[in-house]
């Protein structure tokens, strides 16, 4: 048979030449095939399938009937007294003298044969899946999945929320620091806002703790949490709770498969991000790009089907629902509050007072009355702490010796807020003024971050360190100068250096003393005369002789008019 030619094409060529009168021997010589091949081609236009090879004999073959009997007996045995693979393996060795058969071979045969024996005995039908059809805007599915991301260089585990419309396959994803009730609510709210409405039919759920307080027996009835009942009533959600366990996962297979597909296609390799907000921005772009994808053999894309489904969704309510949860902790003596076993800092002036905390899925906001006093990114681990150096500056002014070993300083270094420039300037200031005065000067510099950009303050510290200006005022002056020379934030035009010489002059750091002397006006006053003060010298005669003048007469002393005491 010529290379690249299929057996069907060979048979067609043999039959064509045979019809034209070519002999069988000539066909054999022309196509280099045997007599049997020519006979098969002339008898049938379709090649017969190749006969399968006989199954390879296994050392387990003599013991397979014994294993089948054990599995058949387990059908009537108590659930907790049935054979495990280890027990079957040991019985074959001890009771039936099995030798030279590995445990893995026995385990593979049991895994294959066990469900077959159950079906053969009439104890259960084979697992069957029934394809479903969905109306536009009628149904959706919700689930959580775990994803790993590299957040600021550290590998952490986050929770991926997904809401998928059953008709079009349009899915909305969101990553949160936790998988609690706050993330459950915020994921719904974000998905409804992106979709532009709410499904008018059922939404399928697992038995999540965020929604289900308890499962009532083997029925579909559930005891829901109060906040979930209020949330679904606000948006008009009709929930459908799946069966607990792996069987329930098959009842919402669309969202289960969607999470796996999204994780494999967008989180491989592991994304490196600076914040969860940045990651969610990327996810929104990925969701939008996925609308051009076709699911399976569907004739239209996700975006085209969603355009048909969007008008069928129920409109969103006018009022918003507060997805966060309120707490009222008291600030301890370390100027920290405890929320869900994690500690967060607040300004030291609130020590001993009770504050209000609004906890979201990825952040928390602290209020004193209605005034916001702190905001933190939510911790991903339990029993951790997130401290802000700015909250402790007033206290550190009174206790500068507590700064070098403070936990808040270590966290500021790890977050990149306390840079090596801060370290170098602090060391130089301590060497010049002493540890206490140098640390206080550093704290005064750190206070500049409240009303100046971080980059400007760091650049001002570098400039002050270069000329040896180790005071807070000098650093502030340089930071303000750099801020003024930076890109303008208003519409006011600014003259820019156009030549290399101008850029070099603009980038040069001058001494503060020289700058002050240059800016002072020229002094035109005469030099002072101090000769009139010579009479105050101890030796007046020497001073007069040096001046070449006669001494002035000493005034006579008048008699005292004081009356004698009586």
Q: What is the pLDDT of residues 465-512, one digit of tens each?
A: 988 888 989 999 999 988 888 765 444 444 444 445 444 444 445 565
519 Cβ contact partners less than 8 Å away, ≥ 6 residues apart: none
By the 10 Å C-beta count (0-12 exposed, 13-18 middle, 19+ buried), 514 is classed as: exposed
Query: Omega into 413 within 30° of 0, i.e. cis?
Result: no
What is the distance between the alpha carbons of residues 393 and 395, in angstroms, rounded to a whole number? 5
Question: What 3-state class would DSSP assign to 318?
Answer: coil
523 Cβ contact partners less than 8 Å away, ≥ 6 residues apart: none
Q: What integer pLDDT is reported at residue 469 of this predicted model?
A: 87
What is the distance between the alpha carbons of residues 382 and 340, in angstroms, rounded to a whole number? 8
What is the distance between the alpha carbons of residues 277 and 271, in angstroms, rounded to a whole number? 13
Residues of the chain with pLDDT under 50: 489-499, 501-508, 556-558
What pTM was estimated for this model as a whole? 0.65
Of the CA atoms within 13 Å of residue 377, those in its CB half-sphere come to 10
Residues in the chain, total: 566
Phi/psi of residue 128, each to 5°?
-125, 140
With contact defined as beta carbons under 8 Å apart, do 314 and 198 qualify?
yes
With contact defined as beta carbons under 8 Å apart, do 463 and 482 qualify?
yes
Q: What integer pLDDT is reported at residue 509 of this predicted model?
A: 53
What is the distance between the alpha carbons of residues 58 and 62, in angstroms, rounded to a whole number? 9
Phi/psi of residue 346, each to 5°?
-135, 165
Record the tokens describing residue 392, joined without a space: 């402790």
Q: How many Cβ atoms from other residues are within 10 Å of residue 242's Cβ?
A: 18
Largest Cα–Cα distance in the chain?
176
Helices (H), 152-252: 181-195, 226-235, 246-250
- Cα 298 to its chain centre, rounded Å, is 34
């Amino acid at each position: 048979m010529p290379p690249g030619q299929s057996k069907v094409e060979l048979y067609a060529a043999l039959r064509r030449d045979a019809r034209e009168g070519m002999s069988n021997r000539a066909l054999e010589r022309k196509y280099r095939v045997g007599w049997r091949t020519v006979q098969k081609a002339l008898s049938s236009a379709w090649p017969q399938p190749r006969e399968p090879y006989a199954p390879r004999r296994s050392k387990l073959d003599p013991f397979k009937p014994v294993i089948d009997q054990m599995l058949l007996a387990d059908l009537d045995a108590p659930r907790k007294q049935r054979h495990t693979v280890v027990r079957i393996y040991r019985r074959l060795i001890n009771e039936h003298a099995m030798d030279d058969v590995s445990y893995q071979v026995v385990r593979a045969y049991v895994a294959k044969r066990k469900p077959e024996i159950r079906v053969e005995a009439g104890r259960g039908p084979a697992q069957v899946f029934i394809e479903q059809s969905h109306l536009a805007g009628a149904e959706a599915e919700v689930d959580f999945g775990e994803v790993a991301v590299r957040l600021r260089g550290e590998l952490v585990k986050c929770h991926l929320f997904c809401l998928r419309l059953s008709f079009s396959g349009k899915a909305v994803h969101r990553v949160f620091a936790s998988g609690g009730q706050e993330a459950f609510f915020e994921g719904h709210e974000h998905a409804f806002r992106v979709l532009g409405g709410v499904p008018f039919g059922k939404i399928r759920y697992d038995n999540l703790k965020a929604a289900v307080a308890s499962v009532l027996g083997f029925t579909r009835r559930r005891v829901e949490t109060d906040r979930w009942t209020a949330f679904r009533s606000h948006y008009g959600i009709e929930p459908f709770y799946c069966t607990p366990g792996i069987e329930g996962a098959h009842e919402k297979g669309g969202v289960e498969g969607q999470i796996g597909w999204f994780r494999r296609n967008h989180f491989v390799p592991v994304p490196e991000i600076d914040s969860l907000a940045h990651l969610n921005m990327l996810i929104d772009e990925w969701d939008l790009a996925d609308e051009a994808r076709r699911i399976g053999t569907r004739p239209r894309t996700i975006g085209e089907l969603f355009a048909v489904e969007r008008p069928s969704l129920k409109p969103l309510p006018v009022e918003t629902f507060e997805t966060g949860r309120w707490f009222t902790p008291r600030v301890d003596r370390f100027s920290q509050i405890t929320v869900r076993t994690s500690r967060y800092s607040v300004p030291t002036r609130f020590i001993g007072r009770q504050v209000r905390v609004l906890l979201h899925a990825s952040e928390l906001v602290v209020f004193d009355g209605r005034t916001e006093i702190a905001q933190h990114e939510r911790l991903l681990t339990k029993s951790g702490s997130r401290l802000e150096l700015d909250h402790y500056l007033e206290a550190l002014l009174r206790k500068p010796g507590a700064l070098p070993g403070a936990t808040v300083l270590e966290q500021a270094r790890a977050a990149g807020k306390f840079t090596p420039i801060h370290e170098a300037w602090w060391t130089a200031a301590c060497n010049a003024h002493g540890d206490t005065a140098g640390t206080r000067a550093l704290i005064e510099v750190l206070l500049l971050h409240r009303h100046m950009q971080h980059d400007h303050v760091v650049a001002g510290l570098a400039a002050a360190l270069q000329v040896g200006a180790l005071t807070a005022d000098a650093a502030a002056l340089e930071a303000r100068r750099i801020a003024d020379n930076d890109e303008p934030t208003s519409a006011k035009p600014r003259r820019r250096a156009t030549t290399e010489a101008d850029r070099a002059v603009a980038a040069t750091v001058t001494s503060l003393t020289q700058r002050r002397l240059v800016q002072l006006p020229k002094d035109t006053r005469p030099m002072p005369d101090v000769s009139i003060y010579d009479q105050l010298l101890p030796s007046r005669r020497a001073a007069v002789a040096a001046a070449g003048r006669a001494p002035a007469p000493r005034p006579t002393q008048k008699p005292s008019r004081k009356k004698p005491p009586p």
